Amino acid sequence: MNPFDRELTQRLDEWRDQSLLRELRAVQSPQGARIQVNGRELLNFSSNDYLGLASHPALKEAAVRAIERFGAGAGASRLISGSLSPHHELDETLAAFKGTEAALSFSSGYTTAVGTICALLGRDDWVLIDRLVHASIVDAARLSSARLRVFRHNDLDDLQRILRQVNRRRANSISGSPRPRVLIVTESVFSMTGTLAPLKELVQIKDAAGAWLMVDEAHATGLYGPNRRGLADELGVGDRIEIQMGTLGKAVGAAGGFICGSRPLIHLLVNRARSFVFSTAPPPAAAAAATAGICVIQSDEGARRVTRLWNSVSSLEAQLRAHAPSLARHASRSAILPVVVGLESKALDAASVLQERGLFVPAIRYPSVRRGAAQLRVSITAMHSDADISALASALASSVNPL
Ligand SMILES: *Cc1c(COP(=O)(O)O)cnc(C)c1O
């Protein structure tokens, strides 16, 4: 083996020793309540396709039609000749869906976070993030070169303490230079814990402190609020959040990410978000499928699917309270149920026991969560039947010991 491969193999071996090594598994079916993994059918509790739209006929048909009319690839970036009709239609659909002046779609949620935060902030600015935000936001905050502060998860006192410090430093900044900006970034529904951010209070706090607020609704878009726009919609604060982010690859059933907000925000991103400017436009099929996904979400069928999902979540919680109270969550209403088991090896063992029983529940380990806080992450979707939920509850109750 050459020195290069020897070094890499050593690093991989270290991760294996710590139960942190990961492998790809080939899935031979579309997303659904059941998936085919390595030739075996498993009940799937791992998908973010919360409403079952990824293989919905309306989305597939929209994608096929877009390919027939516009081809497989966009051929250039949006700012050159790649800004095709399906992209414009998607941006307009997103703005109408979220009730904002404007919207801009990106090729993924990850590139949305990186492009947006780096476009808004520079080295004299401040970025304040919740401890549990997604890696895309952490990476964006670091890459922006703004000064980074982390507040404890959903802890408003800690956030206010940091804001007071930052505002004292802001008041002392050299006169004549522009006042440093402060951006608070959080998720509305946290991807690994399923906890909900106190958005009403956050809006008041950022207004009082003269800061901006960016909220990533990756796990809430399509699921919460009277218009199913997300948690900000449910809490009635959408129009007070400067930067509303989301992904198109989860409940929307397609692929991509987006920002909704004011016209100046979107115009700035078109000019300055480097992941948007310097990247080929997403395939027209992805944009068309996302538009179709948002249309389904806004329809009566979307409402029925959301009701179905929340009924399954309630039913799971009730069964766990009855048969495995240590697994029942006490906090918030979300489609994500984390079962923290602690040791990485314990999470892998629990996942393989569940797999033997025919259930696919992923073991989530560092760096997705803290070391020693490995968990099983159960996600419920609108496609699960009552029998699927009961099978999950009894498998969890009999084979998983939480920390
Ligand atoms: C999945 C996720 C992203 C990234 O979105 P992709 O479209 O998958 O790149 C960003 N933020 C959060 C909170 C996520 O869960």
In the residue annotation, 17 being an active-site residue is answered as: no
pLDDT classification of 401: cutoffs 50, 70, 90: confident
Mean pLDDT along residues 374-402: 94
Question: Is the pLDDT reported for residue 331 higher than 70?
Answer: no
pLDDT of residue 211: 98
Percent of the chain with pLDDT over 70: 100
pLDDT, mean of residues 16-30: 94
Q: Would you state the pLDDT for residue 178?
A: 81
- 48 counts as catalytic: yes
Q: Which position among 56, 250, 346, 384 bears the catalytic label?
A: 250
Task: Give the model's pLDDT for residue 330.
Answer: 62
Mean local confidence (pLDDT), 162-175 = 90
Q: Determine whether 14 is an active site residue.
A: no
**What burial class does residue 300 get, using C-beta atoms within 10 Å of its C-beta: 0-12 exposed, 13-18 middle, 19+ buried?**
exposed
Compute the Cα dihedral for 167, 164, 134, 248 and give only its sign: negative
Give the helix ranges, DSSP H, for 83-133: 85-98, 109-120
The percent of residues in the chain predicted with pLDDT above 90, rounded, is 93
Residue 250 is among the residues annotated as catalytic for this protein: yes
Question: Which of 47, 191, 275, 312 does the annotation list as catalytic?
Answer: 191
- Residue 11 pLDDT class (50, 70, 90 cuts): very high
At 166, which amino acid appears? Answer: V
List the catalytic residue out of 91, 125, 187, 233: 187
Q: Do domains 14-44+302-399 and 57-298 have the same CATH topology?
A: no
Q: Which pair of structure tokens corresponds to residue 253?
A: 């059933």
Please tell me which residue, 295 or 327, carries the higher pLDDT value: 295
Q: How far is the CA of 214 from the centre of ligand 1 (A)?
A: 14
Q: What value does the mean pLDDT of the chain take?
A: 96
State which CATH number among 3.90.1150.10, 2.170.130.10, 3.90.180.10, 3.10.105.10 fits the domain covering 14-44+302-399.
Answer: 3.90.1150.10
User: pLDDT, tens digit, for every residue of 271-324?
Assistant: 999 999 999 999 999 999 999 999 999 999 999 999 999 999 999 999 999 998
In the chain, what are the domain boundaries?
Answer: 14-44+302-399, 57-298
Does 138 have pLDDT greater than 80? yes
At residue 171, the pLDDT reads 87
Query: Any alpha helices (H) in 172-299, and if so which ranges?
Result: 199-209, 231-235, 263-272, 274-277, 284-298
Residue 326 has pLDDT above 90, yes or no: no
Looking at 3.40.50.300, 3.40.50.10680, 3.40.640.10, 3.60.110.10, the CATH number of the domain 57-298 comes to 3.40.640.10
Q: Report which protein residue has its CA nearest ligand 1's atom 3.
A: 109
Q: Which of 191, 215, 217, 369 to mutate to test the pocket of ligand 1 (most atoms within 8 A of CB)?
A: 191
Does residue 352 surpass a pLDDT of 80?
Answer: yes
Given 87, 134, 206, 384, which residue is catalytic? Answer: 134
216 included as an active-site residue: yes
Average pLDDT over residues 161-170: 96
Residues with beta carbon inside 6 Å of ligand 1?
108-110, 113, 134, 136, 187, 191, 216, 218-219, 247, 249, 257
pLDDT at 245 over 90: yes
Q: Give per-residue pLDDT as tens, 187-234.
A: 999 999 999 999 999 999 999 999 999 999 999 999 999 999 999 999
Tens digit of each residue's pLDDT (9 = 90 or more) over 266-280: 999 999 999 999 999
Distances (CA, A) of 145 to 201, 225, 251: 28, 35, 32
pLDDT of residue 400: 84
**Predicted confidence (pLDDT) per residue in 68-113, tens digit:** 999 999 999 999 999 999 999 999 999 999 999 999 999 999 999 9
Q: Distance of alpha carbon 41 from its chain centroid, rounded?
A: 26
Q: Is the peptide bond before 367 cis (omega within 30 degrees of 0)?
A: yes
Q: How confident is the model at residue 328 (pLDDT cuts 50, 70, 90)?
A: confident
219 is catalytic: yes
Testing ligand 1's pocket by substitution, the residue of 50, 105, 110, 129 carrying the most ligand atoms inside 8 A of its CB is 110
Report the SS3 class of residue 293.
helix
